[in-house]
């Protein structure tokens, strides 16, 4: 059993299956009946999405379960391979190359673990449309928009989401010149105020307020510029980003250590 789960062939098969399943998700997004379900996966926590999606049809939930099974097997495969092969080899002959290769596997395992935890832990509310002065309540958490500054031409906001994103180039959209001022409070804790921009969320403990897009007001907000926010709360978010960065760093170190100049390749062999 250990030999089976530590097999490189199994690793290759699982990676091919994972790529194929992710490709299927791209195909599913081409069908209107399935596109909304896939979009909803990004708007709420997965376990909340799963039970609601199951009532609408079996295709997406079964597809997602297949991804979870393959990813779980890949986790076990990497764990067994790391302990029985990489760790044993590094302990026998302790070299920087072997230890760095082992650490790449360990960081990859932690990244997979954090991905799994993020599916069921914390809280996520997406596509919260707010205008200046609006207050949004999420349990004991209160988000207030104190001000919105949009310095660029707002005409492209009137277009559809796809067209407006195509026109949102560096020449027409200046990220630091367009922002919102937020005030976040929770219970008796001290309030925090700050500026949120595209790609620059407002962080407060485990809470992250992310500005995903600016919107052009309709109806009672005709002519106003609003924002669309995602509010997430997850204690593993910071750990995930730190471990992900360490994994990339260890991979770069491994490449540098094992890299051989082309001109000296024949000499070393």
Parse the chain into domains and list their residue ranges: 2-121+238-258, 125-233
Average pLDDT over residues 225-245: 84
How far apart CA 252 and CA 130 sit, in angstroms, is 42
Q: What is the pLDDT of residues 137-193, one digit of tens each?
A: 888 889 999 999 988 877 777 776 666 777 677 777 788 889 999 999 987 888 889
Q: What is the pLDDT of residues 119-150, one digit of tens each?
A: 777 778 888 899 999 999 888 889 999 999 98
Q: Which stretch of 34-38, 102-106, 144-148, 161-165 has the lowest confidence by average pLDDT?
A: 161-165
Q: Which two tokens stand for residue 20?
A: 């194929």
Q: Which two tokens stand for residue 238?
A: 């910071």
Q: Which two tokens stand for residue 55?
A: 């009532």
Q: How does residue 267 score in pLDDT terms, banded at 50, 70 and 90?
A: very low
How far apart CA 89 and CA 93 sit, in angstroms, is 6
Residue 14, pLDDT score = 92
Residue 31, pLDDT score = 85
pTM attached to this predicted model: 0.65
Q: What is the DSSP string of 117-160?
A: HHTTSSEEEEEEEE-TT-EEEETTEEEEEEEEEE-S-GGGGGS-
| 25-48 burial code (b ≥16 CB/10 A, e <16) | eeebeeeeebeebbebbeeebbee
Residue 161, pLDDT score = 66
Average pLDDT over residues 18-40: 86
Per cent of the chain over pLDDT 90 is 20
């Amino acid at each position: 059993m250990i030999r089976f789960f530590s097999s490189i062939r199994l690793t290759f098969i699982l990676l091919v299956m994972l790529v194929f399943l992710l490709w299927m998700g791209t195909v599913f997004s081409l069908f209107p009946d399935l596109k909304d379900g896939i979009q909803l996966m990004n708007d709420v926590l997965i376990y909340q999405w799963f039970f609601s999606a199951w009532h609408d049809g079996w295709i997406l939930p079964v597809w997602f379960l297949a991804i979870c099974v393959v990813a779980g097997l890949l986790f076990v495969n990497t764990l067994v391979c790391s302990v029985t092969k990489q760790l044993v080899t590094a302990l026998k002959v302790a070299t920087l190359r072997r230890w760095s290769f082992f650490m790449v596997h360990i960081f990859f395992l932690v990244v997979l673990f954090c991905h799994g935890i993020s599916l069921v832990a914390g809280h996520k509310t997406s596509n919260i449309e707010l205008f200046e002065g609006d207050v949004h309540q999420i349990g004991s958490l209160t988000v207030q928009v104190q001000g919105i500054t949009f310095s660029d031409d707002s005409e492209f906001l009137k277009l559809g989401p796809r067209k407006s994103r195509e026109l949102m180039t560096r020449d027409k959209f200046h990220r630091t010149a367009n922002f919102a001022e937020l005030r976040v409070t929770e219970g008796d804790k001290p309030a925090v105020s700050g500026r949120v921009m595209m790609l620059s969320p407002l962080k407060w403990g485990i809470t992250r307020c992310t500005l995903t897009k600016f919107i052009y007001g309709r109806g009672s907000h005709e002519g106003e510029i609003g924002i669309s926010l995602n509010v997430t709360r997850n204690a593993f978010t910071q750990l995930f980003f730190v471990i992900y960065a360490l994994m990339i760093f260890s991979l770069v170190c491994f490449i540098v250590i094992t890299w051989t100049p082309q001109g000296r390749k024949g000499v070393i062999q």
